[in-house]
Structure formats: C-alpha cells, structure tokens
Amino acid sequence: MKKFFKTGNPYVWLTASSLTVCLLMVCGLVALIMVKGLGIFWPHEIVRFHLKDETVVLGELVKKEPIPYEKNGYRTKLKVGNRDSYGLDFRWINDDEIVSGEYPASVVAIERREWGNMYGFLHGIRKNGKTETIQPDGASEVIDAHKKLFRKIRRLEKKEIGDINHQMEKNRLKLKQLMAPPASDTLQRKADNVKAKIAILEKMYSEKEILLSELYRQAKEKEFIIHLAGGEEKILPVFEVVRMYTPNNMHVFAKMGFYLSKLWEFITDEPREANTEGGIFPAIFGTIMMVFLMSIAVVPLGVLTAIYLKEYAGDNFISRIVRISVNNLAGVPSIVFGVFGLGFFIYLIGGAVDNVFFKSALPSPTFGTGGILWASLTLSLLTVPVVVVSTEEGLSSVPGSIREGSYALGATKFETLWRVVLPQATPGILTGTILAMARAAGEVAPLMITGVVKLAPSLPIDHHFPFIHLERKFMHLGFHIYDVGFQSPNIEAAIPMVYATTLALLFTVLALNITAIIVRNKLRKKYRTSSL
C-alpha cells in the first residue's frame, strides 16, 4: 500500500477525479437546461380521459409520478389549458379515476393572445351571426389573414400613432418652454405656432383612431366555435388566435416545422401574457446592447488605469495598496454597485443632466431615472478590476528586451508604450474584456435598481432621432428569468419559459465570448512574440 502511494498514481487519480466532478456538474447543468429549454417548443399530443365521475378531460400529458404519501397508485399531471374556463392550467388526476383514454385525431390546440392555450374541437366559424362548419386546414387560412390584419393594427398603433405621439410630446415640451415666464410677443407668436401644430397632430391622431377602430371591428367579425372536452361551446374571436394546430394528426416533419416556427417566434418576437408566452427578443437585444455599452466604457477606463499602475506608478506602498483595492473591488457584492449606481449616476449625474438639458420635461425625469446608460456604467465599474488585472498581466508579458530595443532607438517611454508594448498587450486586454463581458451579461442584481424593467415599451434603438436612446429602460435576459420564474401570475405554465430563457442567456453569453475570442486569437497570431 505504501508502495502504491509512493508511485504518485493516487494523486493523479485524485486530481483527475476532481476534474471529472467539475466537468460532470457543468455538463449536467447545460444538459438539464438544454433538455428542459428546448423541449417546450415541441407539439405534445393531446389525450382525452374519461373519468369515473363521467366527466371528460382533454389536455397535454406533462408527467406521471407516484402519489405522495400513499403506498401505491400513480397520478398524472395534465395541462388542460382553458384558463378562462377552468381557472387553472394544470390538473392532477389519480390513475384509479381514469376509465379510459385516447388520442382523438381531430382535437385542436389553440394558442391565444390571452388566457394561454385552449384545447378542444373545432366546430365551426361564425360571421355576422351565420355559422359554417370548417376544417382545421381552412381555419389556418382564416387565421393567417387575421395575422396580417394584426400586424397592420400593430404597425398603426406602434409606428404611425407612436410617431404622432412622439411629435406631440415634443411640441408640448416646446410649448411649455415658450409659455414659461417672462412672456413676450415673439414668444407668444411662437407658442401659437406650436399650438397650431399640436392641433394638426391631434386631428391626425383622431383620423388614425377611426382607422384603428375600423380595423378592430374587421378583426372581430369572425369567430370560431370551439367545443371543449365536456361538450361546452366556446366562442373564440379569430383575432385572438396566434396559432392553431392538430398535434395528434401531425407527422414528424410537420412537428419539426412547428418546432422551428415556435423557436423563431421565441427568438424574434415580443413577449405576450406577462412574459410567459411569445418571444424574448427585446430581452436579448437589451442584454447585448448593454454589454456593448459596458465594454465601450470599461475598456478605456481599465486599460488606462492599468497602464498607469504598471508603467508609471512604480512599485511602492501606495501603488500596492491601490492594486489590492482594485482587486478587492471585484469581490464587492454586485448589489452594492447597484446602490452606488442609483445614488451616483442616476440621482446625482442624471439629476444634474435633467436640470441642465431637459428642464422643460421636469418633473418627469429623463436621465434622472434608471436607464440603459446608467446600468451599463454601473456594470462597467463592477467589471473594471477584471480589465485592470488582465491588462497588467498583458503588459508584464511583453518582454523587457522588446522595450529595450525601442528605447535604444531613441523612443520615449510613451512612444514605446504606444507603438510596441500596447499592441502586444492587446490579447491580454481582450481577455480581460471577454471576462468582463461574461460577468456583465450574467449580472442581474445591480440592474434591477438601475434601469431594467419587466416590459419595456420600446427598444433603446429606434427610428426616432437621435436613434440611440440611452435614457430608456430596457429588458434583460437575466432579469427576464427572474421575472418569469418568480413574478408571473401563472408560474406553473411559465416554468418551461424559464428554462428556455436561461438557455437563451447561455447562448447569448457564449456568442459574445466566441466573437471576442476569435478577435483575440487573430490579434495573438499577429503579435506572437519571438520564438527565439
């Protein structure tokens, strides 16, 4: 035994097994999220159970488990949908209550804009009081036509009426400015001008309103008649339907197509129903934009700090204290940075900016409230130690002989730094940036008090001048996970969304990192040091 220990093999085994444990944990984590997150878009078949009490239920099988605290017997969790009728999306059914079960081919699953899924049988379509029978194929045509109508309405609401509102708001602010004392004739004339403009805009607005209500009337003309599991009749306006499909009647390729269209919707669409349905595009966009803004702020700050610390400050007591403090800054809980961001950036700087540049909008704050700029700056403070440390490492990795070569040619310290040392330290700087980006993309706590919201009405970039709106609140994947998982009214139904959003966050961070790593490797190749 002693001999065995002396060979050194046990230590190899010890180290290797700890690595294995780490790998298993990471792989398990990713695998769990992948399975749970990617599974939700697959169309599940719908089962119909006839129960002992002569009722009939219809729904997706979610899971089967032994009944807790009972010796024998299983129970089944069924997603019955129809929250507006049943109150709950899910129902537990003990197996001994079930008389028989089957998968009826004609059952339809309907995704609605409100109230979650509906499961039932398509009975007919009604228009102006006349009822016709309809097949699911025919229904999907009607739905597509209504989707076009829906998009038209959205464009009208968001873009055209949104533009008018934007203009009106601007003019109102101008008016407020002009009406402020001291009054004068020219000011009065200008104010009248603006008032006239507002009147024109208001007229345009009411015209659009009429158009909108006409479109809504068209949209609500047609209604589906759906029979639920127990035979109850339900009226469902076609306009309410996002998607209608017959999962029991779909072959594998149809299911794949369905899967991809759901996945596409998830990535590119806006959320519905308190974020538990629909897509997460605004959150992905907000996350990436925030990370970019953060990088733009953190890289110059961190690099300049590191250059001073490493190249100019020398190695004395104060510089050592500063270095230790910077390193310790990385360990400060992130919520502390959030509080600092709120107090310093938002109230102090934002408040001052409002007082100077956006006085007419007060008391409603412009920069004096949470926004993507302040959130990014707060995160850049949080990540600056990472950049400082890795830049310092990058600077020390530049061999002294290269610096000497430059000095010997009559270059000053700054010229040497700028022309030789910094280019060679770029991979180190980028490594720091990658780490900072990864950290920033996953941070939630400081964002909650510096500008992230559950649902942002508009993206921080749009077609209104000046196109990039740094004062706007934004959505973020990390916060989205928290919000969907813990703050939504229908948590059970939101669980798959939590996994899918987590997966999206992982992929976003991965994509950001891979981009940065590719850039770094290109540079590293370029500035590879002498092999001699």
The conformational region for residue 69 under phi > 0 = left, psi -120 to 50 = alpha, else beta, is: left
Residue 7 vs 531, nearer CB to other proteins: 531
Q: Which of 58, 225, 420, 438 binds other proteins (CB under 8 A)?
A: 420
Bridge partners, residue 108, by sequence: 120
Contact string 507-526 vs other proteins (x = CB under 8 A): -------------------x
Shortest spacing between CB 388 and other proteins, in angstroms: 24
Q: Which stretch binds other proteins (CB under 8 A): 74-82, 334-342, 419-427, 479-487?
A: 419-427
The residue behind tokens 């934002």 is 350
Return the SS3 of 474: strand
Residue 55 vs 529, nearer CB to other proteins: 529
Residue 386 vs 420, nearer CB to other proteins: 420
- Asked if residue 528 binds other proteins (CB under 8 A), the reply is yes
Region 12-31 residues binding other proteins, contact defined as CB under 8 A:
none
Residue 28 vs 399, nearer CB to other proteins: 399
Distance CA 380, CA 298 (A): 5
Q: Which of 86, 344, 347, 407 binds other proteins (CB under 8 A)?
A: 407
- Asked if residue 396 binds other proteins (CB under 8 A), the reply is no
Q: Which stretch binds other proteins (CB under 8 A): 32-40, 63-71, 229-237, 394-402?
A: 394-402
Q: Which stretch binds other proteins (CB under 8 A): 215-223, 270-278, 340-348, 405-413?
A: 405-413
Size of site (CB under 8 A) for other proteins: 24
Return the SS3 of 69: coil
- Asked if residue 410 binds other proteins (CB under 8 A), the reply is yes
Q: How would you list the strands of the sheet with 46-51, edge to edge?
A: 90-94, 74-79, 56-66, 46-51, 98-102
Distance CA 360, CA 184 (A): 18
- Asked if residue 201 binds other proteins (CB under 8 A), the reply is no
Strand intervals (E) in 52-115: 56-66, 74-79, 90-94, 98-102, 107-112
Torsion over CA: 12, 13, 15, 16 (sign): positive
Residue 235 vs 532, nearer CB to other proteins: 532
- Asked if residue 411 binds other proteins (CB under 8 A), the reply is yes
Distance CA 168, CA 194 (A): 10
Shortest spacing between CB 63 and other proteins, in angstroms: 59
- Asked if residue 415 binds other proteins (CB under 8 A), the reply is yes
Q: Which stretch binds other proteins (CB under 8 A): 242-250, 270-278, 316-324, 418-426?
A: 418-426
Shortest spacing between CB 307 and other proteins, in angstroms: 17
- Asked if residue 530 binds other proteins (CB under 8 A), the reply is yes
Torsion over CA: 151, 157, 160, 166 (sign): negative
Shortest spacing between CB 415 and other proteins, in angstroms: 5
- Asked if residue 199 binds other proteins (CB under 8 A), the reply is no
Alpha-carbon distances, residue 248 vs 93, 105, 257, 262 (angstroms): 21, 5, 15, 18
| CB of 481 closer than 8 Å to CB of 445 | no
| CB of 382 closer than 8 Å to CB of 334 | yes
Return the structure tokens found at 171: 């003019």
Q: Which of 102, 144, 202, 404 binds other proteins (CB under 8 A)?
A: 404
Residue 53 vs 315, nearer CB to other proteins: 315
| CB of 139 closer than 8 Å to CB of 223 | no
- Asked if residue 131 binds other proteins (CB under 8 A), the reply is no
Distance CA 359, CA 416 (A): 48
* Longest alpha-carbon distance in the chain: 104
- Asked if residue 531 binds other proteins (CB under 8 A), the reply is yes
- Asked if residue 406 binds other proteins (CB under 8 A), the reply is yes
| CB of 319 closer than 8 Å to CB of 313 | yes
Q: Which stretch binds other proteins (CB under 8 A): 124-132, 135-143, 408-416, 507-515?
A: 408-416
Task: Write the DSSP assignment of 277-341 as a string of letters.
Answer: EE--HHHHHHHHHHHHHHHHHHHHHHHHHHHIIIIIS-SSHHHHHHHHHHHHHTTS-HHHHHHHI
Shortest spacing between CB 517 and other proteins, in angstroms: 20
Shortest spacing between CB 323 and other proteins, in angstroms: 18
Shortest spacing between CB 315 and other proteins, in angstroms: 9
Q: Which of 131, 327, 401, 515 binds other proteins (CB under 8 A)?
A: 401
Shortest spacing between CB 519 and other proteins, in angstroms: 17
Return the SS3 of 228: coil
Torsion over CA: 428, 429, 431, 436 (sign): positive
Distance CA 282, CA 289 (A): 10
- Asked if residue 414 binds other proteins (CB under 8 A), the reply is no
- Asked if residue 390 binds other proteins (CB under 8 A), the reply is no
- Asked if residue 424 binds other proteins (CB under 8 A), the reply is yes
Shortest spacing between CB 414 and other proteins, in angstroms: 11
For other proteins, the binding residues (CB under 8 A) are 399, 401-402, 404-412, 415, 419-420, 423-424, 526-532
